[in-house]
Structure 1
Amino acid sequence: MFDGFVEIPAPMVIGIAAVVAALGFGTGMAVAGPSLAEANSPYARVSAVVRADATVERSKGVSWVRKVDVGRYCVKLSDPDVRLTESVPVAAPLAESAPIGAQALVASRPSPYCGNTADEVYVGTGTEANQGRDLPFALLIP
């Protein structure tokens, strides 16, 4: 039975990272609090670069990110026109501090980890040997 989570094999992570870079994740400074640095991603409705502690470095279409457990994050969407159940969300661990075998899983429907709300995307990070590890990640909803 499909549980709404998508596991991305390691070779695809490199390709996804290239796509994320091509979509315009430019350089930006980390900004704490409610004002987030704007991501330059013209072909994405939602994009975010998130640190392991849930700090958002830059984003588009994201209000905030909260860490609900080790390796478990909820990303609050700011655009009510983005419908999670009609979207194809993609998450990938960020290479600068992710270990070999790092994984990012993203839910394609409301998740109990995020209160089953339609405007929050669940992202889980970890490794094959240690599921549930805090890792930085990128999120993209085209």
Structure 2
Amino acid sequence: MYPSSLARCAALGVAAFTLVTVGAVSAAADVYAPYTQAAAHVGRDGTLLQSKNIDTVTWNGGGIYCVHVSDPDINLADSVFTATLGENADRGGSVQVALGRPECGNDPHTIPVISATQTGNFASNEFYLTVQ
């Protein structure tokens, strides 16, 4: 009888930990990137997973993400961008920065990031973005 009681207690403990961990909603973690003006790790559904000077990401449900830079002193017109697919992205696809996209309202503080399949169709993908 003792092992089954112990097993039940362990199972309840794991279940409670899972509920607390999965049920918690947290903000994007700050990124330590001293030589980068802004950076983001974005999930395929537009979730901002990690960031530095990025406050929101708007996702259109396809492959266009609008990444908003929170620091008004960062001049995107004079910046250099690097975007790479994340480890959970579909293989063979691509990601690129395309300033001035109308889908993002031509906002001077918003970076349009486009994700596509191997054949060029819009696709939802996880990605990393840095602004230098």
Q: If the length of structure 1 is used for normalisation, what is the TM-score?
A: 0.71
2:18 aligned residue:
none
1:19 aligned residue:
none
2:17 aligned residue:
none
Residue 56 of structure 2 is aligned to residue 53 of structure 1: no
2:104 aligned residue:
114
1:126 aligned residue:
116
Residue 96 of structure 2 is aligned to residue 98 of structure 1: no
Structure 1 Cα separation of the partners of residues 74 and 80 of structure 2:
11
Structure 2 Cα separation of the partners of residues 124 and 114 of structure 1:
11
Retained in 1: the 8 A contact 2:30–2:51?
Answer: yes
Task: Give the 4+ runs in structure 1 shifted more than 6 A.
Answer: none
Structure 1 position 32, deviation (Å): 5.1
Gaps in structure 1 of 5+ consecutive residues: 1-30
Structure 2 residue matching 1:65: 3-state secondary structure: strand
Structure 2 Cα separation of the partners of residues 98 and 129 of structure 1:
15
Tell me the percent identity. Answer: 32
Residue 126 of structure 2 is aligned to residue 141 of structure 1: no
Cα RMSD after superposing both structures:
1.7
Matched to 2:112, the amino acid is: Y
The number of residues matched between the two structures is 109
Q: If the length of structure 2 is used for normalisation, what is the TM-score?
A: 0.76
Matched to 1:112, the amino acid is: P
1:67 aligned residue:
59
Worse overlay, 96-105 or 49-58: 96-105
Report which of the two structures shows the higher radius of gyration computed on alpha carbons. 2
Matched to 1:57, the amino acid is: L
Matched to 2:80, the amino acid is: V
